Structure 1
């Protein structure tokens, strides 16, 4: 009996210390600097929607459909896209926010709104990847500087957001475990273009 009680205590302590399946979605904002690619800002959403049990593991960024010199002087066609794992690994996570179900739904509506914009929706000065993440940051309840001079500098913009919102930091996404003990594999959400394809 003593051994059984002791094993039960060890089991409880172990599993209470592991970050398992909190029903929330974590939004982490990233910047990618010059290199082989254009500078970029994007968000990764990871977690679980409490009301539906939906597993979320997807990234979103807004960019020009074709990166040509034309983006320097006029509006061009835009798209919401997902990045490759290699691209994400070479990017910098800046900060995270927790989203409840209602906030997650609002995020997804805003992402769909950007995805469904018609015509020449990308403009380097007025409607670029930073404007996209700025919309999402504002929806999460954080402050941004609408007059920021960093709307073409992803890293500087996100660092400015951190300076305006004390205590921002990275949050480890929850470890999601299905009933069978497997870690679920989320499928990409419809409408996002995969940049790797």
Structure 2
């Protein structure tokens, strides 16, 4: 018994980081367009606490509406804003996947020049890249380019292992 108890103490800690995929319906009151982003919460195997969220947007709305690439940024949401969004599904990631998620966020943030494009590199494309890092089938059909909630519902259906409920 003592040997078994000792072995369980020597086992490396397991990561417990949850990645939740959210959509925001948009709001005339807040002046916000529909949007999608991820929330990361939990703890890495080394005990490091994780509490972050990442979305991708044009730095200036007028540039996003205009044709062509626009200045981009990684944006974060407040707790209040997150509470007003739709959480579509959540996956647990390994420490390695977590590091790859962060590397992807930084690659999008640090991309040289103007990278945001309403049709080629918007918040949906960003979240699709993150979804692929965690092993999800995440394409972006044209019909979902500007419909984050509908797109995440679509991704939930494409990945039945998620058991995602459709958000009306």
TM over 0.5: yes
> Runs of 5+ in structure 2 lacking a partner?
1-12
Q: How does 1:118-157 map to 2 (within 5 A)?
A: 118-157=112-151
When residues 153 and 146 of structure 1 are mapped into structure 2, their CA distance, relative to the original with a 3 A threshold, is closer
Deviation track 1:34-91 (CA, whole Å, cap 9, x = no partner) reads 21311100000001110x3210001000001111165341211000011122211111
Larger relative contact order (C-alpha < 8 A, sep ≥ 6)? 1
Give the one of 15, 23, 30 matched to 2:22.
30
Q: Which has the higher helix share?
A: 2
Structure 1, residues 76-108: CA drift from partner, whole Å, max 9, x if none? Answer: 100001112221111110001110111111111
Distance of 1:132 and 1:70 partners within structure 2: 15
CA distance in 2, matches of 1:107, 1:55: 16
> Of the two, which has the highest radius of gyration?
1
Pairwise CA RMSD of aligned residues? 1.8
TM-score scaled by length of structure 1: 0.71
SS in 1 for 2:127: helix
The alignment of Structure 1 onto Structure 2 pairs a total of residues equal to: 149
Q: TM-score, normalised by structure 2?
A: 0.82
Unpaired runs of at least 5, structure 1: 1-20, 171-197
For the 8 Å contact 1:96–1:169, the answer to whether it is kept is no
Quick one: structure 1 residues 92 and 164, their matched pair in 2 at CA, closer, same or farther if it must change by over 3 Å? same
